[in-house]
Amino acid sequence: MRIDIITVVPELLESPFNHSILKRAKERNLLQIHIHHLRDFAINKYGQVDDTQYGGGAGMVLMCEPLGDAIKKLKSERVYDDIIYLTPDGQTFHQRTANTLSLKENLMLICGHYKGIDQRIRDLYVTREISIGDYVLSGGELAAAIVVDSVARLIPGVLNDETSALTDSHQDNLLAPPVYSRPAEYEGLKVPDVLLSGNFKLIDEWRQDQALKRTEERRPDLLA
């Protein structure tokens, strides 16, 4: 999978993709990430990429030409399955969205800033608009990092144990059950006996039961 990200703050995206699972995905050539600085497409020598909004009101808008030029250049180089705009007024991101996106070949992510991007860029080029939740971030970059992380780990071959993504929280609308590692007793708290029993049928049942209990307690909305 190839992911192109257009941003006015490329520094924000320097680290998130260079560690742990995403680093491995890139090393195995299962994932390529290319960051594009919108300022390289500025309309003048001052690096201008934003302007005040028509009709008045506070806040700047990322203007048409730089963003349009950046998108057109990338589109001339390959076919994109989705051109995604990260925005608090987009569709809320869910595990099922991550599952869908993990099957794509080429994705383009556009990070908004200030008041967002000119509506005509959305009308002309954007095929999907994503919000990561009902709160406001300063820009789309951290949201883009979250989307990329959740999608990349689902690409076949990225996780060592292929079944491991299937047992994540949210993968079947259930939260994950509790997990334990050594020692068998810590500060007086014991690992549940069933996990030490070696009876994998019982262990499976216990985990299912715990996942259901947790979901009922913490996120009953997932069961509705």
| Dihedral sign computed on CA atoms, order 45, 50, 52, 53 | positive
Q: How distant is the alpha carbon of residue 32 from its chain centre?
A: 15
Minimum CB separation from ligand 6GU for residue 186, in Å?
Answer: 37
- Binding flag, residue 59, ligand 6GU (CB under 6 A): no
Considering only residues 69 to 108 of the shown chain, the ones binding ligand 6GU according to CB under 6 A are: 86-88
- Binding flag, residue 194, ligand 6GU (CB under 6 A): no
Binding piece for ligand 6GU, criterion CB under 6 A, among 73-81, 100-108, 130-138, 209-217: 130-138
For ligand 6GU, give the closer residue by CB, 136 or 189: 136
For ligand 6GU, give the closer residue by CB, 135 or 200: 135
- Binding flag, residue 117, ligand 6GU (CB under 6 A): no
Minimum CB separation from ligand 6GU for residue 221, in Å?
Answer: 18
**Cβ(140)–Cβ(113) under 8 Å?**
yes
| One-letter identity of residue 124 | L
185 vs 153: CA distance, rounded Å: 32
Buried b (16+ CB within 10 A) or exposed e, 29-61: eebebebbbbeebbeeeeeebbeebeeeeeeeb
Binding piece for ligand 6GU, criterion CB under 6 A, among 15-23, 72-80, 137-145, 209-217: 137-145
SS (H, E, C) 131-147: ECCCCCCCECHHHHHHH
Minimum CB separation from ligand 6GU for residue 152, in Å?
Answer: 17
Structure tokens given for 195: 């996990």
Q: How many positions of this chain bind ligand 6GU (CB under 6 A)?
A: 14
- What residues make contact with ligand 6GU under the rule CB under 6 A? 86-88, 112, 130-133, 135-137, 139-140, 143
